[in-house]
Amino acid sequence: MTSHFAVFGHPIAHSLSPRIHAAYARANDIDLEYRAIDAAPEHFKDQLASFHRDGGAGANVTLPLKLQAYGYCTELSAAAQRAGTVNTLRRSAGGWSGHNTDGAGLIRDLTERHSLDLRDRRTLLLGAGGAARGVLWPLLDSGLRELVICNRTAETADRLADSVGDPARVHTRYWDDLAQQGSFDLIINATSAGHGDGAFSLPFSLIGARATCYDLSYGNAARSFIAWARAANAAQALDGLGMLVEQAAESFEFWHGVRPETEAVYAQLRASFLSDAAD
């Protein structure tokens, strides 16, 4: 019997999730249908209810709906509670169970695919919205020495830092003061800056000698940040394609009880991106 799954977002036509989950399903002999559903925030609740009535068993949720999804859940995983947002839903008799797989996906990509030891790293997290909240706790759990949160709206960064309750390790800084903050070993872009047309611009002094720069977005949305990091001679400049593949695997396991192998899917998608760039 075919299981029905979907990814909700606005916009969503660009999403690679249907392709990724179809590959995972084939590799694990699971019969599923997975589609993308464009849902504006004001229509998301009704569309999610309709999806369930039509047999929907689970869903991924992306921008700008993760906070709304959190509010629709009757049960939340520990990861979702800490993040305060949900990117994965599973239907049960009591309603929607919510989970957040973003942080786990990021850590797997950094530590396993890119062999990065996160312990004792001085880290700069750019942004304090849902994307940042999704990765904050797993980053701290990985053993970072210091985490500096910087957001264009300083009050939002302060609230996020206060929610952690670790002032010895987690600090906030004003965006305009970044040039005076020294260098970092890891810089993570969790802002939506790359989704516009402007170039990403920050002081090159932020990038330490062994720095890894990582954009949670991928494709065109990550290009301006990656270009900035490469221009500043970062040791590694990475986009979030690997995180996408890994968080999808975490969602797949949440639904089906088996964690798929990810490397072949990642390699195929990366090759596709490189081919598109060459055209």
The span from the CA of 239 to the CA of 217, in Å, is: 6
The question of whether 66 is a catalytic residue gets the answer yes
In the numeric block, the tokens 């300083």 are attached to 154
Annotated binding residue 62: yes
Which of 12, 36, 66, 133 is catalytic? The answer is: 66
Annotated binding residue 128: yes
- Six-digit token pair at 82? 């800490």
Annotated binding residue 34: no
- Six-digit token pair at 120? 């004792």
Annotated binding residue 27: no
User: Which residues are CB-contacts of 256 (< 8 A; sequence separation ≥ 6)?
Assistant: 28, 30
Annotated binding residue 174: no
Annotated binding residue 205: no
Annotated binding residue 168: no
Backbone φ and ψ for 60, nearest 5 degrees, come out as -95, 155
Half-sphere exposure in the Cβ direction for 252 (13 Å, CA): 30
Annotated binding residue 166: no
Annotated binding residue 212: no
Annotated binding residue 233: no
User: Which residues are CB-contacts of 149 (< 8 A; sequence separation ≥ 6)?
Assistant: 125, 128, 132, 157, 160, 161, 170, 171, 172, 173
CA dist 269 to 19, 241, 275, Å? 9, 8, 10
Looking at the chain, the number of H-run helices and the number of E-run strands are 10, 12
Annotated binding residue 247: yes
- Six-digit token pair at 222? 């990550």
Annotated binding residue 60: no
Residue ranges for the binding site for NADP(+)?
A: 127-131, 216, 240
Active site residues: 66
Residue ranges for the binding site?
A: 15-17, 62, 87, 102, 127-131, 216, 218, 240, 247
Residue ranges for the binding site for shikimate?
A: 15-17, 62, 87, 102, 218, 247
